[in-house]
Amino acid sequence: MDELLVNPAVQAAVVPFIAALVVGLLLKPVGWYWAGLAVIAGFYASVSLITGFEFTPLTSTRKLVLIGMGAAAAGLAFDYLAAKPRPLYPLLAALGGGSVLWLIWPPLMRMEGAALWLYGAGSVAYVVWMVLSLEALRNRALRAVTALTSLGLGTGIAALMGASALLGQLASALAAATGAFLLLSVFKRTLTVGLLMLLPAALLAGLIGVSAMTYATLPWYSLLALAIIPLLARVPLPQKLPLWGQAAALLALTLPAAAGAIYLVWREAGAPPM
């Protein structure tokens, strides 16, 4: 069993998928909103095996883990304190922008002039876009979860090919956890997701992409392909499609953008390190 749990594929795919599936099934009777905790549980089950929960010294990866925890707590508070989404947009934007600046502050401070401002502004814009665009899908839960699954998968494989196995594992764990939630979603007619799940998932997906660009060799333009995914998740579908058909159609719409990001990294960096 110990040998199995140290296998990177098991840590990044099997464990988060099973953990999210079990937690989602357990919380489903309590309410579909709370079943969204399955994504968080699946991701952090994987984190416990990949990096653990030690936070000293405070590396960029450990910052990611802390930000995800804080975002889950903030998402729960936002869901209870605000009924309308628009007043939340400035708060969400500030949270996303502050998180990415904290994450990349050391290398950012080594830059000068226009490079500093372009890199900082571009990184902030990418993460804030992910948070706000996915929050806008909160009332269309199946679309939001499908977008997160494709985004996590594309980010994970792109990060791996961009010479960061660790970030690739973390993004893949997020994809596996959201994939498990997506599987549960196709059997539920009325879906409800809130910022309790959307905020940490969207923030982590965006931050992992920026981390791979900053601390590895992920080309910046590959993030542009990933940024299209929330837009593709909005494409209208035939109303008579069953939930499983909608999920399949949305995956067919969003996965090509993830594949595009992977291709751009492959063209720049070549095959992933083994």
Cβ–Cβ contacts within 10 Å for residue 107, how many? 12
CA contacts within 13 A on the Cβ side of 158: 36
Residue 33 domain-assigned? yes
Mean pLDDT (10-residue bins), the chain, 274 residues: 73 93 87 82 94 87 94 89 68 94 92 88 96 90 94 94 88 95 81 87 96 92 96 91 91 96 86 54
Residue 274 domain-assigned? no
d(CA 44, CA 20): 10
Residue 149 domain-assigned? yes
Radius of gyration of the chain (CA): 17
d(CA 242, CA 254): 18
Residue located via tokens 């989602």: 24
Q: Which domain holds residue 166?
A: 2-269
Residue 154 domain-assigned? yes
Is 182 exposed, middle or buried (CB count within 10 Å of its CB: 0-12, 13-18, 19+)? buried
In order of 93, 111, 213, the CA distances from 117 in angstroms are 18, 9, 16
d(CA 140, CA 191): 8
d(CA 216, CA 199): 25
pLDDT of 272 reads: 56
**Close Cβ partners of 268 (under 8 Å, ≥ 6 residues apart):** 217, 219, 222
238: Cα separation from own chain's centroid: 27
pLDDT of 178 reads: 95
Residue 188 domain-assigned? yes
In order of 46, 152, 268, the CA distances from 17 in angstroms are 9, 13, 31
- Overall domain count for the chain: 1
d(CA 101, CA 45): 26
**Close Cβ partners of 51 (under 8 Å, ≥ 6 residues apart):** 61, 62, 65, 166
pLDDT of 57 reads: 87
d(CA 191, CA 193): 7
Helix, strand, coil percentages for the chain (3-state, nearest 5): 75, 0, 25
pLDDT tens for residues 189-210? Answer: 667 788 899 999 999 999 999 9
Whole-model pTM?
Answer: 0.93
pLDDT tens for residues 83-104? Answer: 555 678 888 999 999 999 999 9
